[in-house]
A and B are shown apart, each in its own frame.
Chain A
Amino acid sequence: MTRRNRTTTLILTFYCAGFLLAAIGLAVAASGDDAVARRSGDPALHEAWAARVVWACDRRKLVIVEGVRPDEPIPPQRAQLVADLLQDLMRYCNEEITARLGVDQRITVSARGLVHEDYLPGGPLPIVPASYGEPTRRERLIWAAALEKLVTEGDRLFHSDEIGSNGIACAMCHPHASGTHPETYPKFQTQLKKVALLRDMVNWCILNPLEGEELAADDPRMMALEAYILAQRNGKVIEVGKH
């Protein structure tokens, strides 16, 4: 039984054996207080902040049960969810995991202090590859793979005739994205009589040499094309507005 910060009020005791967890019982001990809610005195805020924290016996996993004041017992149905969730999370013996059980019973988990992500009990542990510390090698690999995927799709589109209508592809005139100069955007494009972004010129070339249809800025194909063009020019000095 521990007191952790001033909000820790409830300890669920589990007896852990090896990789398996045997849930023996749910002990409810109401003690402590909710400093935040008390300070504000606002009942709505009080409800919003209300949370009870339930620890697993390994001291590595905890569930923050939202919408339940520290001095309140957890309703049986939610208590069962908490117990099931902790049992489920014990699959990851050595991980430090914080779970949140929302008032709408939505479950999110955060492993190793990373960002909270939706979690489906029994499913894979969402390791969100973004931390605020020095990225791990694994994180770097995940990021690189995700980027590579987008750039590769852009490479494919840039070399294919499928965004146009006349068989012509971007790469025919721009091998290795040469002549696209993304590092000079935004710039005043005299022929368009306005300041253009890279995607405006991409669309110009889609409409004209390729005789295709304009792509919206958030069209995955536009994003992929921009990704490929920029990746090809990686390392070039940005010279906004250069002609």
Chain B
Amino acid sequence: MYRNNMTRKEIERRFAERRPEDEKLLRTLRNCDRRHFLRTSLRFAGMAAAASLVPHQSFQLVNVAHAAIPGASPDQAFRFAYISDTHLYDRGLDHRFVTSVLKAVEDVNALDPQPDFVLFGGDLAQLGRPGELELGRQLLGEVRAPLRMIVGEHDWYLDLGEKWREFFGPDYYSFDHKGIHFVALNSVVEKDFWTEKGYTPEERMAIVAGLDDNRQSPFEVGAEQRDWLQKDLAQVERKTPIIVFSHSPLYKLYKPWNFWTDDADEVQALLRPFKTVTVIHGHTHQLLTNRIRNIQFHGLLSTAWPWPYAPEGLPEYTVQMFRADPFNALDGCGDGAVDVLPNGRVDKHYNLWARNPRTVTAKQLAKRRPPEGGGHQGPSY
């Protein structure tokens, strides 16, 4: 049998022992250049391996001097990379989710040429705690390219975004880059389910953090942001390509897991007048592709864990992910890049850490029929 010979106590002791070291590591991380960072990560990887915590697959960090993110599309105008859904706990740098973030940071930093920016797709923290957000901020602080942040439900529901906004600024905004109008939304707004029930902030956070916890409300963008979006888009020409970042998919896929945005129809209606619209979203932790009229949708991989497909509603455009191997902690996880083409459409790369990389091209999605190998072959649920 596969066994962890260490008792829980021993693991805890080792964690505790390494605390001062963690602190030192973090301090070094904070001020180091890229080469130094690499060395630090390598040192960390060795340390983690020495602790003989299973599974060792999580510590393949040693091998990632070059990133595996697939080569840029031939006619790309520019490229941005992404890291998403890191779900960090504030439990020291030995935690497997930290190891994964370090790996993702390595990946995007190794891209040559460097991406124009790196999108972080939300769910930086696991329970919205200041320590978790702070750890995430420090780890992402090592990314060489500029960062664009969006917020996930795990970041938000302890203090309703207070700490997150202090660290990263407004939760919704727009900017223009090389002819594309980018919009970042906070799509994880939930109607107040806590006041009446008297839930504490911690309880509220724990409920929202439970994907299958039906005590919460469905995600939505909400009237306030829709108003803002309408005004924001009023200044944009109809032929300008739009790329929207959101945490939840801006369509209705599976409500019980909040793979869903309740006012998706209204948001899509605001985007309908534009010729070329792409939505890039986090939250679903899997290969996920959709097309609804003028809008193409791409999901992001999580660095922490993959999700099985929902039991229903999987869009036929999705090239399905294999079932993840539970014996490989990195399987189904990863990061990736988005190549923005001159026409404003995108080719989407999934850099799966334990499988061959996958790319979903704009060309495939433009065809009326779903892409080769796509279609619903029966969910992994």
Residues of chain A having any CB pair with chain B under 8 Å:
159, 165-167, 171-176, 178-179, 191-192, 201, 204-205, 207-209, 211-214
Chain A residues with CB under 8 Å of B310's CB are 178
Q: Is the CB of B2 within 8 A of A207?
A: yes
B204 → chain A, closest Cβ, in Å?
Answer: 16
| B297-352 interface with A by 8 A CB criterion | 305-308, 310-311, 323, 325-327, 329
Q: Is the CB of A176 within 8 A of B326?
A: no
Residue of A nearest to B4 (CB): A207
Chain B binding surface SS class: loop
Contacting B11 at CB < 8 Å: which of A165, A172, A192, A208?
A165
Chain A binding surface SS class: loop
**Complex interface: stretch among B70-78, B89-97, B161-169:** B89-97
| Residue B139 at the chain A interface, CB threshold 8 Å | no
Q: Is the CB of A211 within 8 A of B256?
A: no
Contacting A208 at CB < 8 Å: which of B256, B323, B329?
B329
Chain A residues with CB under 8 Å of B256's CB are 176
Q: Is the CB of A211 within 8 A of B305?
A: no
Interface centre among A172, A174, A175 (most CB of B within 10 A): A175
Q: Is the CB of B326 within 8 A of A175?
A: no
Chain B residues with CB under 8 Å of A159's CB are 210, 213
| B90-117 interface with A by 8 A CB criterion | 91, 95-96
Q: Is the CB of B4 within 8 A of A167?
A: no
B91 → chain A, closest Cβ, in Å?
Answer: 6
A125 → chain B, closest Cβ, in Å?
Answer: 40
Residues of chain B having any CB pair with chain A under 8 Å:
1-4, 7-8, 11-12, 53-55, 87, 89, 91, 95-96, 126, 210-213, 256-257, 305-308, 310-311, 323, 325-327, 329, 380-381
Q: Is the CB of A171 within 8 A of B211?
A: yes
Q: How far is the CA of A192 from the CA of B3 in the complex (A)?
A: 11
Q: Is the CB of B212 within 8 A of A175?
A: yes
Q: Is the CB of A172 within 8 A of B305?
A: yes
Given A172-B305, A173-B305, A213 and B8 touching (CB < 8 A)? yes
Q: Is the CB of B8 within 8 A of A165?
A: yes
Q: Is the CB of A167 within 8 A of B91?
A: yes
Given A178-B381, A207-B54, A213-B8, A171 and B326 touching (CB < 8 A)? no
Q: Is the CB of B2 within 8 A of A167?
A: no
Interface centre among A172, A204, A207 (most CB of B within 10 A): A172
Given A207-B2, A211-B4, A179 and B381 touching (CB < 8 A)? yes
Q: Is the CB of B323 within 8 A of A179?
A: yes
Q: Is the CB of A209 within 8 A of B7?
A: no
Q: Is the CB of B91 within 8 A of A166?
A: yes
Chain A residues with CB under 8 Å of B212's CB are 171, 175-176
A164 → chain B, closest Cβ, in Å?
Answer: 9
Q: Is the CB of B96 within 8 A of A166?
A: yes
Given A159-B210, A213-B7, A165 and B2 touching (CB < 8 A)? no
Chain B residues with CB under 8 Å of A201's CB are 326
Given A165-B11, A211-B11, A204 and B91 touching (CB < 8 A)? no
Interface centre among B87, B89, B211, B310 (most CB of A within 10 A): B211
Q: Is the CB of B96 within 8 A of A191?
A: no
Chain A residues with CB under 8 Å of B55's CB are 208
Q: Is the CB of B211 within 8 A of A175?
A: yes
Listed from nearest, the 5 A-B pairs whose CB atoms lie closest are A175-B212, A179-B308, A175-B211, A191-B327, A167-B89
A4 → chain B, closest Cβ, in Å?
Answer: 59
Given A172-B211, A178-B311, A179-B381, A165 and B1 touching (CB < 8 A)? no
Q: Is the CB of A165 within 8 A of B381?
A: no
Q: How far is the CA of A171 from the CA of B206 in the complex (A)?
A: 12
Q: Is the CB of B126 within 8 A of A178?
A: no
Q: How far is the CA of A178 from the CA of B53 in the complex (A)?
A: 27
Chain B residues with CB under 8 Å of A205's CB are 326
Contacting A171 at CB < 8 Å: which of B210, B306, B323?
B210
Residue of A nearest to B214 (CB): A176
Residue of B nearest to A194 (CB): B1
Can you list 24 residue pairs at the A/B interface with Cβ under 8 Å? A159-B210, A165-B8, A165-B11, A166-B95, A167-B89, A167-B95, A171-B210, A173-B305, A173-B306, A173-B307, A178-B307, A178-B308, A178-B310, A191-B327, A192-B2, A204-B2, A207-B2, A207-B54, A208-B54, A208-B326, A208-B327, A211-B4, A211-B8, A213-B8
